Amino acid sequence: MPHLGDFHVSPRVTALAALAVPVGAACALVAVVLLKLIALVTNLCFHASLSFSATTPGSTPHRWLIAVMPVTGGLAIGLMARYGSEKIRGHGMPEAIEAILVGGSKVQPRVAVLKPLSAAISIGSGGPFGAEGPIIMTGGAVGSILAQFLTVTADERKTLLVAGSAAGMAATFNSPLAAILLAVELLLFEWRPRSYIPVAAATVTATVVRGPLLGTGPLFGGSHVPAHLSLPVYPLCVVAGIVAGLLALAATALVYLSEDLFAKLPIHWMWWPAIGGAIIGAGGLIEPRALGVGYDVIGQLLTGRAGTGLIIGILVIKTLIWGLALGSGTSGGVLAPMFMIGGALGATEALVFPTVSPGFWALISLAGVLGGVMRSPLTGIVFCLELTHETNAILPMIITASTAYLLSVTWLKRSVLTEKIARRGLHLTREYSVDPLETHLVRDTEPQPTIALPETVGVAQALATVASAHGTTPEPPVRLFPVVDDAGRVRGAVTRGDLAAATGKELLRDLARPAITATGGETLRTVANRMAVHHVTSILILDAAGAADGVLTLRQLLAARRIDAHEEHHAERVMAIRLPRRTRTEPAG
């Protein structure tokens, strides 16, 4: 009997975890390089300075640059995409998902160079995007390229790709746990030790390497959420979640409305990022601080130091230019813009909601917008915790993010991260559950009885035996027969087709093919996988002595699926409250 356990673990997972360590270290360095490149391009474009110091496009003294530089950056990205690699277009996560789904987790080396460079140009020239999408794609490229030099399976290559993606995100935001959760909720499409352990190794390594280079403190601190919140705050968190969910729906619709409009333009897509740049420039002239990554603005929103004009400007202008420009196919991420837009939404609500602490509602709405846009609520909640270290806000964030998530998944089929995948003709589900075939064993089924045929008989006698046994049965006749030795042990198998096609002179020992077998202690999932590998639709079941105990077919496998479908869709009331019956009293004579 096979040994069954909670997990299927191969010793190769240790080797993958060891490979993930250098991948994590490399991705941390790539994240640092990307952030420095963004700062360099920003300084060159808006301050004519060769500097790696952090700055913002809106701080330029030359207002005309705000209109010109995004267009220039868009032209550069269009040229890079057309003559370098079209894979650099977009915000990175759909491209990583597509590489996993249909590309065998193989990423071209040129993408590892062009994606961060294009992102640096896009964001540095004023694009209202984040660095996380590009670093997720670039980190994934690092892991994938390493795996392509090794003899590994496609699943192992996927694990190293995702390990690189998660490591890049962890290094960018100092958020290892959120990076692991994002990998699980969005990229891995599974929750198994073989993938979790290497991803964890890569993210831990990236975070450790990041420390001396970018610091170890929270990226945004200072909300100072009190330990005890008044009860009326919690219902308002539900309201904040509803508003955040509606904003998430609107932002997602805006991105793909923009993409549809750009697709109708009678010009080559190479020019679209430049048009998107013109939209960015126009918005930047109205609200310059909506340009770029905007970490300084996010910090102001989360500490309650933003003025009303800035709050409204960011909420309206940032949302519009981000959604419209992202649809042009430029390069840039979605998380940092969601931080700013979500923070601005919460800061707007703080104008009417009761004061809890400076920046409290901005933080709560930020979590809500992430939950609604990404549809990865656990990632959004933990992300906000790691960005701010505000552990006292965990319960309000759970309420708000979960409410927004409920609204988003109820009203919208796809998220901003997966709609592009669907538009390319692919489908993915983000619902993960235990396979019902994994919870049923072979011995729990009722295999079809079969006929054991001695290996020493001829084909004609075997056909006569089969016809005699199945001539009067109302059940569909079994099509697979074990060929056994004198002791009754299975030595092979034949099918009805094998017997019908034979010349009639062979003995069954010469005609029999290797038997594909299973035992009563194996799961139906194991059996289904074995049938798929060997291209068969039925399999012999052996007892403890090695004798045939019947045949398992697809019919029995589907029975487990029917049980699962019944439990999911059949509603019934198991218990009921019975009130005592009133005793009828006769009127007095």
pLDDT for res 419: 73
pLDDT for res 563: 80
Which positions ≥6 away from 535 have C-beta within 8 Å?
A: none
pLDDT for res 566: 76
Which positions ≥6 away from 466 have C-beta within 8 Å?
A: 451, 453, 477, 481, 496, 499
Q: Which amino acid is at 208?
A: V
The share of the chain scoring above pLDDT 90, in percent, equals: 36
Task: Say what the alpha-carbon torsion angle 402, 404, 409, 414 is, to the nearest 10 degrees.
Answer: -120
Q: What are phi and psi of 21, to 5 degrees?
A: -65, -55
Residues 358 and 64: their CA atoms lie apart, in Å, by 35
pLDDT for res 361: 94
Structural domains in the chain, CATH included, are 12-214 (1.10.3080.10), 233-423 (1.10.3080.10), 436-569 (3.10.580.10)
Higher pLDDT, 90 or 216: 216
pLDDT at 257 > cutoff 60: yes
The 10s digit of each residue's pLDDT in 341-383 is 999 999 999 999 998 988 899 999 999 999 898 888 888 899 9
pLDDT for res 470: 64
pLDDT for res 497: 82
Runs of H (alpha helix) within 149-232: 154-173, 176-182, 193-214
The 10s digit of each residue's pLDDT in 28-47 is 999 999 999 999 999 999 98
Q: Are 453 and 483 in contact (CB under 8 A)?
A: yes
pLDDT for res 585: 59
Of 338-347, 427-436, 552-561, the range with the highest mean pLDDT is: 338-347
pLDDT for res 474: 43
Higher pLDDT, 208 or 585: 208
Please, what is the average pLDDT of the chain?
86
The DSSP secondary-structure symbol of 104 reads T
- DSSP assignment of 357-404, as one string? STTHHHHHHHHHHHHHHH--HHHHHHHHHHHH--GGGHHHHHHHHHHH
pLDDT at 415 > cutoff 80: no
Asked which of 40-49, 405-414, 429-438 is least confident by mean pLDDT, the reply is 429-438
pLDDT at 405 > cutoff 90: yes
